Structure 1
Amino acid sequence: MMRTRPLKVALLGCGVVGSEVARIMTTHAEDLTARIGAPVELAGVAVRRPSKVREGIDPALITTDATALLKRGDIDVAIEVIGGIEPARALIHTAFEHGISVVSANKALLAQDGAALHAVADAAGLDLYYEAAVAGAIPLVRPMRESLAGDKINRVMGIVNGTTNFILDKMDSTGAGYQEALDEATALGYAEADPTADVEGYDAAAKAAILAGIAFHTRVRLDDVYREGMTEVSAADFASAKRMGCTIKLLAILERAADGQSVTARVHPAMIPLSHPLASVREAYNAVFVEAEAAGRLMFYGPGAGGAPTASAVLGDLVAVCRNKLAEATGPGESAYTQLPVSTMGDVVTRYHISLDVADKPGVLAQVATTFAEHGVSIDTVRQQGKDGEASLVVVTHRAHDAALTGTVEALRKLDTVRGVASIMRVEGE
């Protein structure tokens, strides 16, 4: 039977995503009612700049007092699309204190304080849903949290930031340098005026923390995620990658240790074989590759950002939370029963591509090879090119611990014959 009293929704934030949420709620009102089993009504929209024209939104709904909106007593669900830590965190706590379930797209807050927010929601018997916090429109959080709940996920590797993928794709396909590709991304609206959060990996690291917590049923905070940006990736790196049959992507990689007793979470640029599904992800798209014990390998692909795609994920969560409200139930909360430790980057085992600037004279290669051997890092291939007393030496290793590779590089820098370490890049996905 259809309930006649509408479920009332408070929208906190009305930027690119929030305005799309409001538009879809209005234009698809009948469909949402049929899918939920009750009308859903936008009861108020909290904004910072009330004078801004917002097409399709009744001005009477606009308020600058988000706290008062949540405290008025008739709100069932709050949608938080403000972003950042404060005031979003305080407002979500206020919502829970007043019996309001929350849908959020706030990756930074969830990566930092997800455990605390889940604890408050669980204690109050309320929902906290956040599909839109990771990979935009791509259904990823709920499949990992629910569809794969009976399976054991061992590895997650993905492209979770569209801006960086656009830049690297342009560098690969056109031969553009980093700055040229970034300028194009900015002109097209893919990169912010300050692209630091994207190109330095902070955005991807927040998403990695959220995904790792879900995948491994353990608490992983943003500080637990090893992070490297991609600003140092050069045309020379792409040239080397192509010689190896690879391309370069900024990857979030989450792994369960072979003995199952720990996990690692990292974000950094890496070479991956052109045969790997992630290598073909172009432009600003996202894709996540999940490896589970029973299900095998699964790939989730689609637009990872933008107003409409992200709003689609928000509305999917809204439907689920509203259905739970009608059933007087809640969906799955935090699952952190394994309490696995998060290992440091030094424990990661992978292959490496190291480019060295060296003196072009006899014995250099022997010195370099000896240094690798002394640190327990086995060399797979070496390529040397010399000119005018200088040479470049490209070494690709077998699998080794990151700590061993770090020690090797420190020792190489001390050699008189090594004039510089031009680049270090991990090789993944083989």
Structure 2
Amino acid sequence: MTNALRLGIAGLGTVGTGVVKLLSADADRLAMRIGRPLEITGVSARDRTKDRGIDLDGIAWHDDPVALARADNVDMFVELMGGEGDPAKAAVETALKAGKHVVTANKALLAHHGTALARLAEDGGVGLNYEAAVAGGIPIVKTVRESLAGNRIARVFGIMNGTCNFILTMMENEGVSFAEALAEAQRLGYAEADPTFDVGGLDTAHKLAILSALAFGTEVSVSSVYVEGIEHITRQDIRAARDLGFRIKLLGVGVETDSGVEQRVHPTLVPMDSPIADVQGVFNAVGVTGDFVGDLMLEGQGAGAFATASSVASDIVDIARGHVAAPFGAPATALKPYRRARMRAHEGGYYVALELYDRIGAVAAVAQRMAEQGISLDSIVQRADLAEPNGASAKGEQTRPVIMITHDTLEKSMREALANIDAGGHTARPSRMIRIERF
């Protein structure tokens, strides 16, 4: 065997400790497969004294991850700290400029600085691998970058946040509210004390921006992602969707169109009989549509110490074998400037939930506002059984839930129609719409 590949690991949280455990437990097998041993020569983390359940004897400790990134006894820098800025950004830039390979699980860093980091890596002739940054243990990056290299990718989509999927699954299965499901997710450790990044859709937006750049050969543009979270989804929405033959999922969707690339994150009604509707709990699933392969979908654990460590190890092994690919599938200098497409007409239309005052003419007024924007209604259903207890407005006037399903229409038309409906005086609270996608 040749000399060991020396690793510096920055960040010893859940994922970092998982990586150390995996590399230690499988050291002989990995060395046999690679043709050279892997050796952890340096680590960096905030607290030296914390018991992490791993043996760090004989491994150099660096309080400063940037110092670790430039250390002479490190050939590959493994960044598992997280965060879009320093110290992660400074450490990764330092490693790349020093001619060291980098493996990272940092979705925020790549979503905001991926294009620039790819240029640095290619200038230095080193690898920048990031399988663990998108969908945890699911090998979607390698699938798109390598296995589907012969395809023109038309669409990427998926459930990319396990916290949101757990909450929506629990709301459906247990009939609980969003707040109750969120509290349970926090109790189980699936959601942070401040869950905004997850439930607000930002985590999914970061992953989608990376995946879209890889799939469509563009520069990364997280600022161009349209984002809605799941905070306003009610148990009534969940029940109505189920009765109509749908489930609600938070999806990230990237589509290449003639006018550019469309990126969006939002709650979506998907048919019950679609594969993605069956993805439950904290699991993730990512789908790809290629011109030759057609549709395929990968499902698995999207987070967790060992699932994510598996993807990190895969990246380390690839580089150790001498396989260094362009980070986004094409040379960074050849990536197209991101061109944002307009929000298109959505197959299957929209689900619209209204809380209308129970008065003559209210439904007719709503239908009229829709017609003014050229929106065709597939169905209008008044569902008294979906009303909240004590279904009266603050004015004391009785209200009734109304569910509408539209035919295909433009986003702009829907928003204008709903704004006019809310301004018309017949709604007790703001209307809600959820897109319908038929995968």
* Equivalent runs, 1:94-105 vs 2, <5 Å: 94-105=94-105
Partner residue, 2:211:
211
Structure 2 residue 72 is the aligned partner of structure 1 residue 73 = yes
Do 1:137 and 1:302's aligned partners in 2 also have CA atoms closer than 8 Å? yes
Partner residue, 2:112:
112
Structure 2 residue 292 is the aligned partner of structure 1 residue 294 = yes
* Equivalent runs, 1:295-374 vs 2, <5 Å: 295-324=293-322, 330-334=324-328, 335=330, 337-339=335-337, 341-345=339-343, 347-350=344-347, 351-374=349-372
- Please identify, of 152-161 and 383-392, the stretch whose mean Cα deviation from structure 2 is larger: 383-392
Structure 2 residue 382 is the aligned partner of structure 1 residue 384 = yes
One of 24, 41, 44 as aligned partner of 2:42: 44
SS of the aligned residue for 2:48 comes to: coil
- How far the C-alpha of 1:401 sits from its partner, in A, is 0.8
* Alpha-carbon distance in structure 2 between the residues aligned to 1:30 and 1:237: 52
Structure 2 residue 139 is the aligned partner of structure 1 residue 145 = no
Structure 2 residue 420 is the aligned partner of structure 1 residue 411 = yes
Do 2:246 and 2:269's aligned partners in 1 also have CA atoms closer than 8 Å? yes
- How far the C-alpha of 1:57 sits from its partner, in A, is 2.2
Identity %: 38
- 5+ residue gaps, structure 2, are 385-390, 392-396
CA offsets 1:66-96 (integer angstroms, 9 cap, x no match): 2222223231111100000221010001101
Structure 2 residue 128 is the aligned partner of structure 1 residue 128 = yes
Do 1:241 and 1:247's aligned partners in 2 also have CA atoms closer than 8 Å? yes
Do 2:345 and 2:408's aligned partners in 1 also have CA atoms closer than 8 Å? no
One of 22, 37, 40 as aligned partner of 1:24: 22
* Alpha-carbon distance in structure 2 between the residues aligned to 1:333 and 1:107: 13
* Alpha-carbon distance in structure 2 between the residues aligned to 1:54 and 1:360: 60
Residues 80 and 182 from structure 1, CA distance in 2 versus in 1: closer, same or farther, beyond 3 angstroms? same
Letter in 1 for 2:47: R
TM-score of the aligned structures, taking structure 2 as reference length: 0.92
- How far the C-alpha of 1:133 sits from its partner, in A, is 0.1
- How far the C-alpha of 1:420 sits from its partner, in A, is 3.0
- Please identify, of 107-116 and 355-364, the stretch whose mean Cα deviation from structure 2 is larger: 355-364
Residues 54 and 9 from structure 1, CA distance in 2 versus in 1: closer, same or farther, beyond 3 angstroms? same
Do 1:384 and 1:393's aligned partners in 2 also have CA atoms closer than 8 Å? yes
Partner residue, 1:196:
196
- How far the C-alpha of 1:52 sits from its partner, in A, is 1.1
* Alpha-carbon distance in structure 2 between the residues aligned to 1:20 and 1:224: 33
Residues 391 and 71 from structure 1, CA distance in 2 versus in 1: closer, same or farther, beyond 3 angstroms? closer
- Please identify, of 357-366 and 128-137, the stretch whose mean Cα deviation from structure 2 is larger: 357-366
Do 1:246 and 1:271's aligned partners in 2 also have CA atoms closer than 8 Å? yes
Letter in 2 for 1:151: N
* Alpha-carbon distance in structure 1 between the residues aligned to 2:383 and 2:91: 60
Letter in 2 for 1:43: T
Do 2:346 and 2:436's aligned partners in 1 also have CA atoms closer than 8 Å? no
Partner residue, 1:429:
438
- How far the C-alpha of 1:205 sits from its partner, in A, is 0.6
Letter in 1 for 2:421: L
SS of the aligned residue for 2:429 comes to: strand
Letter in 1 for 2:419: E
- How far the C-alpha of 1:340 sits from its partner, in A, is 5.0
CA offsets 1:106-160 (integer angstroms, 9 cap, x no match): 0001001000000111111110000000111111001101111110111112100
One of 391, 396, 407 as aligned partner of 1:398: 407
One of 260, 263, 268 as aligned partner of 1:262: 260
* Alpha-carbon distance in structure 2 between the residues aligned to 1:135 and 1:187: 22
- How far the C-alpha of 1:58 sits from its partner, in A, is 2.1
Letter in 1 for 2:46: R
SS of the aligned residue for 1:170 comes to: helix
- Please identify, of 364-373 and 19-28, the stretch whose mean Cα deviation from structure 2 is larger: 364-373
- How far the C-alpha of 1:422 sits from its partner, in A, is 4.0
SS of the aligned residue for 1:418 comes to: coil
- Please identify, of 417-426 and 277-286, the stretch whose mean Cα deviation from structure 2 is larger: 417-426
* Alpha-carbon distance in structure 2 between the residues aligned to 1:374 and 1:69: 63
* Alpha-carbon distance in structure 2 between the residues aligned to 1:50 and 1:360: 64
Letter in 2 for 1:221: S
- How far the C-alpha of 1:195 sits from its partner, in A, is 1.2
- 5+ residue gaps, structure 1, are none
* Alpha-carbon distance in structure 1 between the residues aligned to 2:198 and 2:103: 23
- How far the C-alpha of 1:55 sits from its partner, in A, is 2.7
- How far the C-alpha of 1:196 sits from its partner, in A, is 1.2
Letter in 2 for 1:296: G
* Alpha-carbon distance in structure 1 between the residues aligned to 2:44 and 2:336: 39
- Please identify, of 49-58 and 241-250, the stretch whose mean Cα deviation from structure 2 is larger: 49-58
* Equivalent runs, 1:170-189 vs 2, <5 Å: 170-189=170-189
Aligned residue pairs, count: 421
